[in-house]
Structure 1
Amino acid sequence: MSSAPRLLLVDDEERFRITLSKLLGVRGIPVAAVGSGEEALAELRSKPYDVILLDVRMPGMNGIEVLAEIKKINPALEVIILTGHASVDAAADIMRLGGYDYLLKPCSVDELMDKVDSAHERKLAREKRKEKAPVRQAISGEEGKPR
């Protein structure tokens, strides 16, 4: 991978945010961490990110509501949901809204890193395809014209 993903961690549990931020930081992933959905949305409007780690159960806006708003702000962002509460309905909602994946807490840092790396690679590949699309359109548009 060319560079570390810009990662935003959203979780209302301060101890979890601090611990996970340190664990990811040691692995070369810079992390910005916020404690609520409202803070996450404000952060996303002011700075660019590649991958979001988002808790489901939080006071105020829950993670599913935040996911829907994130996708309105920037549909290309990859969002990995972290939760301590498994729910088939929540998982279905997350995937329907464009979530990248769903992990149960606690999960290993290695498993989380694999998901973050995969999500980042997917975002980079999508951006690369988007950059090439106008070139393909220009080439295909000119090919059909008589000389």
Structure 2
Amino acid sequence: MEKKYRVLIVDDEADFREIMAKRFNRRNIEAVAADGCEMALEKLKACEFDVVIMDVSMPPGLDGIQCLAKVKELWPKTEVIILTGHASVSSGIEGMKGGAFDYCLKPIDVDDLFEKVALAWEKVQISRS
């Protein structure tokens, strides 16, 4: 039986994170949503996730780039995919330099995101074996 993997979706936009979690769950990928970095860190402390999908721009507290640094420091084998809006390629590049697996521009192509998550999961499996 194929191992089911876990994805954490971190975004301050409630509709986006809930819709994405439902789409992942429909594809038999366990997805949990968090509304910001603090909640994401709490969820990561409570349970192991394979991949984190994180928006760069989030209100008060740590932004996506700062949160990425914290995640990679505490859970180095967890892969992070950065989401960035407003065609902000520079934020995506900054995230890649900070250890992100990849980045996607908003609005996202859902199939492209699923593919990136699958590739990130494969990398996680190799690093944990």
Normalising to structure 2: TM-score of the pair? Answer: 0.92
Q: Which residue in 2 is equivalent to 1:132? A: none
Q: Which residue in 1 is equivalent to 2:81? A: 80
* Higher helix proportion (structure 1 or 2): 1
- Any runs of at least 4 consecutive aligned residues in structure 1 with deviations exceeding 2 A, and if so which? 85-89
Cα distance in 2 for residues equivalent to 1:87 and 1:109:
18
Cα distance in 2 for residues equivalent to 1:126 and 1:99:
15
Q: Which residue in 1 is equivalent to 2:26? A: 26
Q: Which residue in 2 is equivalent to 1:37? A: 37
- Do 1:51 and 1:79's aligned partners in 2 also have CA atoms closer than 8 Å? yes
Write the letter of the residue equivalent to 1:44: L
Please list the CA deviations of residues 64-118 of structure 1 after superposition, one character each: whole Å capped at 9, or x if unmatched: 0100000111111100011223334322321111100010112222111100100
Cα distance in 1 for residues equivalent to 2:111 and 2:12:
22
Please list the CA deviations of residues 2-54 of structure 1 after superposition, one character each: whole Å capped at 9, or x if unmatched: 32221100000001011111111111111110101111111111111000000
Normalising to structure 1: TM-score of the pair? Answer: 0.82
- Do 1:45 and 1:73's aligned partners in 2 also have CA atoms closer than 8 Å? no
Q: Which residue in 2 is equivalent to 1:115? A: 116
Cα distance in 2 for residues equivalent to 1:55 and 1:91:
10
Pairwise CA RMSD:
1.4
Cα distance in 2 for residues equivalent to 1:18 and 1:91:
23
Write the letter of the residue equivalent to 2:36: S
- Secondary structure, in 3 states, of the residue corresponding to 2:4? coil
Cα distance in 1 for residues equivalent to 2:92 and 2:34:
23
Matches within 5 A, 1:127-146: 127-128=128-129
Q: Which residue in 2 is equivalent to 1:105? A: 106
Q: Which residue in 2 is equivalent to 1:49? A: 49
Please list the CA deviations of residues 93-146 of structure 1 after superposition, one character each: whole Å capped at 9, or x if unmatched: 211111000101122221111001000001101122xxxxxxxxxxxxxxxxxx
Q: Which residue in 2 is equivalent to 1:92? A: 93
The higher radius of gyration belongs to 1
Identity among equivalent pairs (%): 42
